[in-house]
Amino acid sequence: MDTFVIEGGRRLSGTLAVNGSKNAALPLMAAALLTRERLVLRGVPLLADIRNMQKLLQVLGCRAERDGDGDLAMQSADGASVYAPYDIVRTMRAGICVLGPLLARFGEARVSMPGGCAIGDRPVDLHLRGLAALGADVSLEGGDILVRAPRTRGVHRLRGARVFLGGPMGSTVLGTANVMSAAALARGETLIECAACEPEIVDLANLLNAMGARVTGAGSPRVLIEGVSELAGATHRVIPDRIEAGTLAAAAAITGGDLVLENCPLDALMAFTDRLHAMGVRVTTLEGADPMRATARFTAGGALRPIEVTTQPHPGFPTDLQAQLMALLTLADGNSVITEKIFPERFLHVAELSRMGAHLFRVGPTVIVSGVRRLVGAPVMASDLRASAGLVLAGLAAEGTTTVNRVYHIDRGYEALEDRLGSLGASIRRVDDRVEEAALLPVVVAAGRAVA
Ligand code: EPZ
């Protein structure tokens, strides 16, 4: 397993272009199952989760390869498999987003129940409620979800309906993606009430419409889908990754740096930039013709002001930037309050940041961050994708050396993070633990002999 070794205290500055969005690309890839024609996605980042989704699609009889230009070309054959096995779904919970497309295209699907993960329980009851509302027969067997469309006049086909997708924490992003994709091929109209409003849902609706679907209202809590009999192939560029953009902006802020981000989805980051502004970080738009692909400058300097923040469904503050903001606030000039409303257990980074000298006090879904003057580098353990990013940010600002273990978590959602931060002046290198252990072995053996 790889480790990042970070020498803190360097100010980041320079220019980077934001990569394509992981959380948009995954449901977009699943949409390839809705048609037998070729679907091409541009700007898909090179990430472990993307490779896992390619593997899952191939198991489902859908070719998924990079072409010469780096675009992702997919084509789903008729009569392919409709079974998404546990060994792939368990490594990437987002595999659940093949459920709706398989059901809509083939009339049935068997998808392993995704387990929980480091950020807490990950139920799928809203996904299943939504598909059942479209007429699907839903059952659970041996850890798998089985869904089958109703048979009318010899054809298995879902029927449009009014679907409510509200849950205890608001709506569900991948649940909305599943129901929207399934409804695209249903007979009649579907109205999704309490749909997720995330930008990734808008991107999926834009792709579905490019394939011949009729989706309106995406980005609002009410999405209308008029079912069609079949969908065609398309070519589509993935929206920029708002969470990668926020993470890079936070890296500049925590080091008192000055960063220009190109292809920056400012329009999808309003809640985040609002909090940066409140902390005293300057955010200026250098070019914003398309506010989803703007050029923005993030400038920090002087003490960061403490703030309050609560994570909410979009357009509220994104839970996927909570750990990164907490790292930033550990060095603010006063006490901040962070409340996590989406995944109340999403605090695995708290103990690790405390090892670096942060003063953090958790009370249920809330953490009081009492700002300190400095963090001190230490060995810390990555646990989930975004918590790991928070630890890297802390390491960039800490005095001395920070080693972040198990960076495979980071590789799931950030492409070559060490190279990208290094290009801005960070001292961060990837160490392959296997190489390090092998190099150390002779020394350890010799030391053992000397002691014996
Ligand atoms: C998506 O996950 C993202 N993943 C997550 O990003 C993100 O944190 C999350 O949305 C919230 O914004 C992808 O897009 C691949 P949800 P998703 O269903 O869709 C509850 C990252 O770091 N819920 O919107 O799985 C659930 O427990 C990842 O990139 C139900 O109760 O999240 C949670 O409290 C982590 N029943 C809330 O809703 C359900 O059936 C939001 O979950 C589904 C969800």
- The Cβ of residue 249 has, within 10 Å, a number of other Cβ atoms equal to 28
Helix (H, G, I), strand (E, B) or coil at 263: strand
Give the residue from 421, 422, 383, 434 showing the smallest Cα distance to 404. 383
How far apart CA 148 and CA 31 sit, in angstroms, is 18
334 CA → ligand 1 middle, Å: 31
Alpha helices in 107-241 (DSSP H): 125-133, 173-183, 199-210
d(CA 366, CA 191): 35
| CA nearest to 310, candidates 325, 328, 296, 290 | 325
Among protein residues, the one with the nearest Cα to ligand 1's atom 1 is 173
Give me the residue label for tokens 């060095």: 331
- Count the alpha carbons within 13 Å of 193 in the hemisphere toward its beta carbon: 7
- Ligand 1 atom nearest 24 alpha carbon: 14
In this prediction, residue 82 carries a pLDDT of: 95
Whole-number pLDDT of residue 452: 55
Identify the bridge partners of residue 117 per DSSP, sorted by sequence position: 120
Average pLDDT over residues 140-153: 92
Bond into 318 cis (ω within 30) = no
How confident is the model at residue 97, as a pLDDT?
Answer: 96
Question: What's the mean pLDDT when you consider all of the chain?
Answer: 94
Predicted pLDDT of residue 301: 80
Angle between helices 48-59 and 22-30 (to 10 degrees): 10
Contact between 55 and 26 under an 8 Å Cβ cutoff? The reply is no
Ligand 1 within 6 A of CB of 206: no
Q: Are 416 and 251 in contact (CB under 8 A)?
A: no
**Is residue 234 a contact partner of residue 227, using CB atoms and an 8 Å limit?**
no
**Average pLDDT value for residue range 207-220:** 98
For residue 168, give the ligand 1 atom closest to its CA. 31
Kindly tell me if the per-residue pLDDT of 244 is higher than 70: yes
Residue nearest to atom 21 of ligand 1 (CA): 320
pLDDT in tens, 156-198: 999 999 999 999 989 999 999 999 999 999 999 999 999 999 9
Residue 449 — pLDDT band, cuts 50, 70, 90? low
The protein residue whose alpha carbon is closest to atom 44 in ligand 1 is 172
pLDDT at 371: 98
| Domains annotated on the chain, with CATH | 2-19+240-437 (3.65.10.10), 22-237 (3.65.10.10)
- Would you state the structure tokens that stand for residue 163, as one six-digit string? 């679907």
Per-residue pLDDT of 42-67, as tens digits, reads 999 999 999 999 999 999 999 999 99
For 76, phi then psi, to 5°, come to -100, 120
For the segment 292-351, what is each residue's pLDDT rounded down to a tens digit?
999 999 999 889 999 999 999 999 999 999 999 999 999 999 999 999 999 999 999 999
The stretch 239-259 carries a mean pLDDT of 98
Question: How, if at all, do strands 335-339 and 366-370 pair?
Answer: antiparallel
Q: Would you say the CB of residue 172 lies under 6 angstroms from ligand 1?
A: yes
pLDDT score of 442 more than 70: no
User: How many angstroms from the chain centroid is the CA of residue 20?
Assistant: 11
Asked if 255 and 428 count as a contact pair (C-beta separation under 8 A), the reply is no
Q: State both tokens at 433.
A: 């633990």
Query: pLDDT at position 120, please?
Result: 82
Report angle CA 46, 388, 413 to the nearest 5 degrees: 20
Rounded to the nearest whole angstrom, what is the distance from the C-alpha of residue 117 to the centroid of ligand 1?
A: 11
pLDDT for the residue numbered 15: 98
Cα–Cα distances (Å) from 381 to 243, 255, 363, 371, 405, in that order, read 21, 21, 22, 22, 5
Handedness of CA 194, 198, 202, 205 (dihedral sign): negative
What pLDDT is recorded for position 116?
66
β 155-156/151-152 pair status: antiparallel
Q: What is the pLDDT of residues 26-45, one digit of tens each?
A: 999 999 999 999 999 999 99
- Closest protein CA for atom 9 of ligand 1: 173
Helix 199-210 and helix 22-30, axial crossing angle in degrees, nearest 10: 30
Mutating to test ligand 1, I would choose from 124, 169, 200, 417 the residue with most ligand atoms within 8 A of its C-beta, which is 169
Q: What is the rounded average pLDDT of the residues 360-375?
A: 98
Instruction: Identify the CA nearest to 39 among candidates 52, 25, 50.
Output: 25
Summarised one tens digit per residue, pLDDT across range 73-105 is 999 999 789 999 999 888 888 999 999 999 999
List the one residue out of 136, 65, 49, 134 whose CA is nearest residue 97.
Answer: 49
Sequence-distant (6+) residues with CB within 8 A of 452 are: none
Question: With bands split at pLDDT 50, 70 and 90, how would you rate the model's confidence at 154?
Answer: confident
Nearest to 378 by CA among 81, 5, 68: 5
Does pLDDT of 284 surpass 90?
yes
CA of 266 to the centre of ligand 1 (A): 22
For the CA atoms of 13, 18, 19, 21, the dihedral, rounded to the nearest 10 degrees, stands at 130
173 lines ligand 1 (CB under 6 A): yes
Centre a 10 Å sphere on the Cβ of residue 107 and count the other Cβ atoms it contains.
Answer: 19
